[in-house]
Structure formats: structure tokens, C-alpha cells
Amino acid sequence: MATNNRVHGTPRPSIGRRDFLKQTGWASVAGAGLVGISRSRALAHPPSPYASWLPASDKPPKRGGGVTRASAWDPPVLDPRLTNSVGLFQIATLTYNRLLRYPLADEARNNADLTLKGDLAETWEGSADARTWTFRLRQGVRWHNVPPLNGRELVADDIKYCYEAYAKEGVQSFTFQEIEGMTVPDRYTIRMHLKTPNSMFPQNVAEAVTVIFPREVLEEDGDLKKRMIGTGPFILKEHDRKVKVVLVRNPDYFDKGYPYLNEYRILSTPDAATRRAAFRTGQSDILGLQSLADVKAVLKTNPTAIVQEVTTVLSPFGLTLAQDKPPFNDVRVRRAISMAIDRQKHVDTLYEGHAILGWGIPYFYFQDDLPTAADLGPYWQYRPAEAKKLLAEAGYPNGFKTTLFYYEYFPQMTSQIQLVQQDLKRNLNVEVAITKNDYTTYFGRYAEGKWEGTAWGFQTGYAVSLDERTYQYIHSKSPKNYFRVADPVIDELASKLRQTRDRAEQRAITRKIVAREHDQVLRMWMPYDAGFALWHPHMRNVGQLDLRGNFGYGSSTLARLWLDR
């Protein structure tokens, strides 16, 4: 029987295909397959020597101590209504909770386990038409014991208030505006009535960004920019903007016995070399690296460090074009630019052959294996002569000038952007003026759409569910549609997808969405490697999970981390 033991490196523990599909909720497509991997076809690069899955420790956990992490990101704002930034949710996922969640590192059967679990809700169920969803809350959950909440109990009216606030404004509004009304039958039950069927609504409220905040703070302050008070495993003790964040253990956390740590410190460290030096000297306990060479270099000074390969299932980054205006509103221009870029060169040189060519929806939602170059369509191929001819047909035989801005998430990104700049100049005479921004400036400018020309764009990394990766990110009316996709065919397909219960049909519709966005070059994805996570050997239950970076949007798993020393 085929198993799901792939990624790029050391195989995962064997898990039956049907068992995996049950975990992810895709059991009904077992015949067609969701993630059955054929290594001979999937791997376009050599494997790494590092494990892609590290199971939970079988030792008795110890309480106490603290962990420090040098972080590349600062929260642009503390209000979860106003940003999807990982800078905020590396903190917010520890101070707040959600109605539902995905498995934490010590619960997961493997790093691809997407089984929904209760968080503030214990149980949930949907109506036959997927328009009404009922959630029954845990009893005895208390807000942090700090003013003005002072440890009062969380009840269903809190959920109703929070979701209504999300619907009024901010980046989450598109998700919650689909709720036509909410009723509260009792203190611990909330029933949500949707405007249209959505079979994936439980996954929507499990996303890292759908945290539950209290009415008292919003009503007293007028916003959520000054205080973070939740029900989560940690309490925000200190936030010194662009310097550090200090979180301390919540002694009244409803998940009894957790967290194990007394303190978690996040140091603002935008420079990659400084982050690496902090890890090497023990000032930071955790480090993310992008290449095999980087890992090898760190292991020379820290040979006992634990290394995990992070599974690459999609690319979060791509060349974003202001396609609502000339010249990028012409599909011929977009296709020409895409064919003028030598993506394989990025894979071979920047990522040492250990990367994917680039696509934007987790591949297991639309096909069994990692897509090959042929799967990605003609406009992902490097065809500079065809590109030049197509650009001339669009009215730009002599090229044109444009701009690009970016934030350096990791050092290879700057080199990758420069390769794109060189290819476009050499093959199309398109001149790209590049500007590098700090994280807060970049994120705000990009997410708010306040730019012309091009950007090295992203899709936020929190999204796990298929609905988030499609409807929420590419529907023309969504505030999360950072790539400015405005395609009626995409809108229709994305809307149809969320109203479809049958998994096989969802898979077929998703394939159509991917084909359409590649044909129209609506999101110009670039090669990417999720890289490697490193930590010091005394840390337990740190295993990285697919689509949930454990020190970013998946930081809630730190409630289960403990120190063996």
C-alpha cells in the first residue's frame, strides 16, 4: 500500500493512506488519492539528510524555564482585526484562543495531520445544507486575570461579539460577513447562520488569525492596539516595539497542566546574520535557515543542534503585478514576463537544487504528487524568445520601466529578486528599479495595496484550509486578495468550491482554479524552499508541522514545549 512518507528528506513514519485521509477530512477521495506520493515522479531535487518529521518526546515533561527566539518580524499593529501579519500572530496565537484549531506538535500523528480539534469549542456540527453551524463551548474557560477582565468566564456572547466586530472592519471581514446572524441558545452554545452554504466553515474558524478577543478592551480603548488580553496559555507581560516581547505562563489556563514554560521571549532581530549569531551563542534557542549550506555552516559551531526539514507544499512568494493597470492588465505582458524568468536557475543556484518551481495552493488539494514543470503549464517554462515576441505583440517591443519593492525574509530572497531583474532586462529590456523596505513598511504598503508597478509579494502563511487558500485569497472582493486578482472565472470557481461537500468534486474544481491562474498568470509564483528549523538539543516537542510554522502562525504549539535540562 502506498504511504505518505515523502517530503524531500528522511521519510516520515509510515501511515496508511486511508488513515491519513481520515485525519485530514478527505477520506471520501481515498480512491482518487489526496497525498499519495510517488517519489520517483515527485522529487525534482536531491533529498536532504534531515528528518521531515520529529515525533513528540516519550519522556515525562518538566515544568519551568524559558525560551528566547530572535525573530525577523515585528507586529505592525497589535489589533488582530487589522493585520494578518506573522509579526502579530507569533504572539497572538499564544495569548488568545480560537473556536477550533489544528493539532499541536505533540498531538499530531505526522507533520501533515490536519485533523480539526476543539479549542474554545468542545463540539461542533453543521446542518445538512452547510448553512447553519453550532458550536458548544468548554465550560470554565477564563480570561486572563488582569484588568479589566479579571479572570471572568468566557461565554457564548463573547464569541458573538468578537465575530460581529470582525465583520464590521478589517482583514477578517470577508470571512465573517458571510454570517447572516448568530443566536445564543445558552451561555455555552452559539449557532451561526450563513448567507450561503460553506462546507469548510469549521476550517475557517480554526485558522490562526480568527482569535477571540474580549469586548471590554475594545469598548474601553476603542481599538485593540494597546493591550492583548485573551484566554490563551501565555499572558503578554511586555511589548517594547521593535525591541522585544515577553510572555509569561497563564496559571489559570483551561488546558490543565499547560504550558510548561514559565516565560517566552521574542527579540526583534531583522538581520539574518544577527539571528544566526544569537543562535550560535545560545542567546536564541530557535533558528530558521533556508539552505543546506546554511545548515551545514551552523552545525560546524553547534554540532548538537537538532535540524528538521520543513515540508514545502507551496510557494508563499511571487512576483506581484499591479494587474489592474497598464501594462500588467494585458495577459500577454504577464505571460511574457513569466516566460522570461529562468525559474530552474533559482532552484539550482540559490536553493542548491532543493526547492520547488512554485505554485500557490498546497498541491495535495489538487493532485497526488508534487507538480512538475510540465504540470505548471507553458507560461512557467523558460522561453525567452517567445516571451520577447509576445511582449512586442502587446505593444512593448522595446520593453518598459517599472519598480519593485520587497522585504528580505531571508538572505536568498535578495539574490532571487536580482536574478529576476537581470532576466527581465536581458530578455525583454524591462528595467526594474528595486527598493528594499523594513518589515513594517513593506507589509503595510503591500497589504494595503498602496503601490504601483510590481512587488515581491506574498500570501500570508497562516492559511491551512482549502477555502482560505482559494476563496479568501483570490476572490475579487476579498481584502486578503493581495495579488489583485479580478477574474470572473476564478470568482465563480472559488464560490462553487466552498459550496461543494464532495471531496472529489472539490479536488476537481481546485485543479481548474490552478489551471486558470497559471494560464492567465494571475499570481506569478517563484521557486521556494520552506527550509530548515533548528533548535538546541534540550528542547522537546518542537516538531515542525506542515502549513503551521511553529514559531509563527503555529506558535500555539509552544504551550506543549518543555526543556529537558
DSSP state string for 214-270: -HHHHHHHSSSSS----SSSEEEEEEETTTEEEEEE-TT-SSTT----SEEEEEE--
Q: Which of 358, 377, 365, 386 is nearest to 526 (CA)?
A: 358
Q: How far is CA 118 from CA 97, 127, 213, in A?
A: 10, 18, 17
Q: Which pTM value belongs to this model?
A: 0.87
Phi then psi dihedrals of residue 19, to 5 deg: -65, -40
Residue 194 has a pLDDT of 97
**How far is it, in rounded angstroms, from Cα 137 to Cα 166?**
20
The secondary structure of residue 47, as a DSSP letter, is P
Can you list the domains of the chain with their CATH numbers? Answer: 1-43 (no CATH), 66-268+531-563 (3.40.190.10), 313-525 (3.10.105.10)
Residue 37 has a pLDDT of 31
Residue 465 has a pLDDT of 93
Residue 450 has a pLDDT of 86
Pair type for strands 179-186 and 189-194: antiparallel
- The string of pLDDT tens digits covering residues 465-479 is 999 999 999 999 998
Phi then psi dihedrals of residue 335, to 5 deg: -65, -40
Residue 14 has a pLDDT of 33
Residue 44 has a pLDDT of 44
Which grid coordinates belong to 435? 527598493
Q: Which of 405, 425, 427 is nearest to 414 (CA)?
A: 405
Which grid coordinates belong to 465? 484550509
Compute how many other C-beta atoms are within 10 angstroms of the C-beta atom of residue 59: 10
Q: Which of 266, 463, 264 is nearest to 362 (CA)?
A: 463
**How far is it, in rounded angstroms, from Cα 144 to Cα 129?**
38
Helix-helix angle 411-428:384-393, to 10 degrees? 60
Residues 6+ apart with CB under 8 A from 58: none
Alpha carbon of residue 304 to chain centroid = 29
Per-residue pLDDT tens, the chain, 565 aa: give them: 222 222 333 333 333 333 434 444 443 333 222 333 332 233 344 578 999 999 999 999 999 999 999 999 999 999 999 999 999 999 999 999 999 999 999 999 998 899 999 999 999 999 999 999 999 999 999 999 999 999 999 999 999 999 999 999 999 999 999 999 999 999 999 999 999 999 999 999 999 999 999 999 999 999 999 999 999 999 999 999 999 999 999 999 999 999 999 999 999 999 999 999 999 999 999 999 999 999 999 999 999 999 999 999 999 999 999 999 999 999 999 999 999 999 999 999 999 999 999 999 999 999 999 999 999 999 999 999 999 999 999 999 999 999 999 999 999 999 999 999 999 999 999 999 999 999 989 999 999 898 999 999 999 888 999 999 999 999 999 988 999 999 999 999 999 999 898 989 999 999 999 999 999 999 999 999 999 999 999 999 998 888 888 899 999 999 999 999 9
The secondary structure of residue 327, as a DSSP letter, is T
Residue 548 has a pLDDT of 86
Residue 46 has a pLDDT of 56
Q: Is 274 helix (H, G, I), strand (E, B) or coil?
A: helix
